[in-house]
Amino acid sequence: MTEQTPRDAGNWAAKVDRLEVSVEHSAAGYNVSGRRVTGPQQGFGRLWQRRYATTVGEGVTPKALIADWKQNFGKYWPKGATFHAALTGLEPGAVAPIGINAAPGMQLATGVLVLYADDESFSFMTPEGHMFAGMITFAAAEVDGATEASITILVRPNDPLYELGWPIMRRREDTFWIATMRNLAAGHGAPGANVSHHTECVDRKRLWSNWRNVRHNAGISSVLHMVTSLFRRRGGH
Amino acid sequence: MNEPVVTMDVRQVAPDVAIIDITGEVTAACEGALTKAHENAATPNTRRVVLNFTGLNYMNSGGIGMIVTLLVRANRQHQQLAAYGLSPHYRQIFELTRLDEAIAIHDDEASALAGSAS
C-alpha cells in the first residue's frame, strides 16, 4: 500500500455521513440537510448511462472552460431551475441546493454534493430524495484540435415513483442538458452548437430492496413544504 | 480519449475465484482494460472476483463510475465483487460514494480470499 499522498487527494470531497447546507442556503436546502448521498447502488430503478457532448471550439482550452463552468455553473442552466452555489464555488465537498420547476407554481427542492473536481472535470453526487441516485460528471477535453465539453450521467431513478416517471424525466433531462450545453457553447463563441447525446441502459434490474427510498422523495416533501409554509404564513397574519 | 496508464493482470487463484491486480491510474479511460480483465477473470465457475488495489496511484470520478459498471456486470453473472489493498485515502472514497456497501472491502489478500469482512 503506498504511503505517499496520491495526487488526486485534494480533488475528492472529504467523507461525510450526512450532508450539511451552509447557513446562506439553509432555506433552499431543506431537502438536502441531514440527507445521505446516494450512489447508483442505493437507487431503485434501472441504471442508465447518458452522455451529452458538444464542440465549444478552439477559442478556449479545456482547463479554461472547466474553470468558467465551475464559476458560472448555474448561469448556463436554462430558465426554470436554480443552482445555489456556495460562495467558495464548486470545491470538493461543497453542497449546493437546487430548485427545479416541476410544475406550474411548484418547485422541487433538492441538491448535490461536489464529489470531485480537478482542472478538467468535476462531478456531483446526489442526496437521498433526489430524482436520481448516482453521479454526474462535467468534463472538457481536446478532441481533434478543438475543445469538447461533455456531461456523463450514471444514475438510477431513486425510488419507484421516480422510476414510473422516468419516460417524462428522461425527456426533460434531454431538454435541460442540451439547453445547458448550448448556453455553454454560446458563452464561448459557438452559438447554435450541435449537441450529441447517447443513452445506454447499463442495468435493467431494479433494486427492489431500495423501494423504501420513496420516504425521502423530494417531490413529495417539496409539496408538503409548500403547503405547510402556506399555513405558516397564514398563521403569521 | 487518452491512453490508460494502467495495467490489469488476472490471477486465477481457485476454480471459482480470480484476482485482478490493478496497477496505475483508474479513470474512465481504462474501461476497455477493465472489461477485458473481467472477461479473462470470469469463467463459468467464477463466483468471486477480487480487485487488488495495492498498486493504485490515481483515481478520478470516472474511475468510480467504471467500478460501478463492473459491479453490475459481476452481479449479472452471479459473482461477488471484493477489494483489498486500498490506501486509507481510496478506502474513504469507497465509503463516501457508498461503494463499500456493495463491494466487500478487505485489508489483505488472505481475508479477501477467505471472504471475511475486515
- Identify which of A7, A13, A137 has the shortest CB distance to residue B96: A13
Cell of A212: 423504501
- Give the three-state DSSP class for A213: helix
Q: Classify residue A123 by its DSSP letter.
A: E
Enumerate residues 6+ apart whose C-beta is below 8 A from A19. Answer: A32, A33, A34, A35, A36, A37, A95, A111, A113, A127
A37-60 b/e (C-beta count within 10 Å ≥ 16 → b): bbbbbbbbbbbbbbbbbbbbeeeb
Determine the Cα–Cα distance for residues A103 and B64; give it in Å rounded to an integer.
Answer: 34
Number of A to B CB contacts under 8 A, please give it: 86
- Whole-structure pTM value: 0.91
Q: Classify residue A12 by its DSSP letter.
A: B
> Does B62 sit within 8 Å of A137, measured CB to CB?
yes
Q: What is the pLDDT of residue B118?
A: 47
Q: What is the pLDDT of residue A29?
A: 85
According to CATH, the superfamily of the domain at B6-87 is STAS domain (3.30.750.24)
Question: Residue A202 above 50 pLDDT?
Answer: yes
Nearest CA in chain A to B66: A154
Question: Residue A233 above 50 pLDDT?
Answer: yes
In A75-169, DSSP assigns E strands to 81-83, 95-103, 106-117, 121-127, 132-143, 146-157
CA distance B92 to chain A (A): 6
Contacts of B93 in chain A (CB under 8 A): 12
Tell me how far CA of residue B27 lies from CA of A57, B6, B34, in angstroms.
25, 9, 10
Q: What is the pLDDT of residue A107?
A: 85
- Identify which of B54, B61, B69 has the shortest CB distance to residue A115: B61
The pLDDT tens digits for B64-103 are: 999 999 999 999 999 999 999 999 999 999 999 999 999 9
The pLDDT tens digits for A7-48 are: 899 999 999 999 998 877 878 888 899 999 999 999 999 999
Determine the Cα–Cα distance for residues B118 and B108; give it in Å rounded to an integer.
Answer: 9
Determine the Cα–Cα distance for residues B2 and A178; give it in Å rounded to an integer.
Answer: 25
> Does A141 sit within 8 Å of B72, measured CB to CB?
no
CA distance A183 to chain B (A): 24
Determine the Cα–Cα distance for residues A165 and B37; give it in Å rounded to an integer.
Answer: 37
Q: Where residue B3 falls among pLDDT bands split at 50, 70, 90?
A: low
Q: Classify residue A190 by its DSSP letter.
A: -
Question: Residue A1 above 50 pLDDT?
Answer: no
Question: Residue B117 above 50 pLDDT?
Answer: no
Nearest CA in chain A to B57: A6
Over range A118-137, report the average pLDDT: 96
Determine the Cα–Cα distance for residues A111 and A13; give it in Å rounded to an integer.
Answer: 15
This model of the complex carries an ipTM of 0.89
Residue A196 Cα to chain centre, angstroms = 19
| Residues making up chain A, counted from first to last | 237
Q: What is the pLDDT of residue B93?
A: 96
Residues forming beta bridges with residue A12, ordered by sequence position: A116
In the predicted model, what is the mean pLDDT of chain A?
91
In chain A, what percentage of residues exceed pLDDT 90? Answer: 74
State the angle between helix axes of A62-71 and A166-187 in degrees (0 to 180), rounded to the nearest 10: 120
The pLDDT tens digits for B7-59 are: 999 999 999 999 999 999 999 999 999 999 999 999 999 999 999 999 999 99
Over range A99-117, report the average pLDDT: 89
Q: Domains of chain A by range and CATH?
A: 24-208 (3.30.530.20)
Q: Where residue A80 falls among pLDDT bands split at 50, 70, 90?
A: confident
Residue A153 Cα to chain centre, angstroms = 9
Contacts of B87 in chain A (CB under 8 A): 1-2, 6
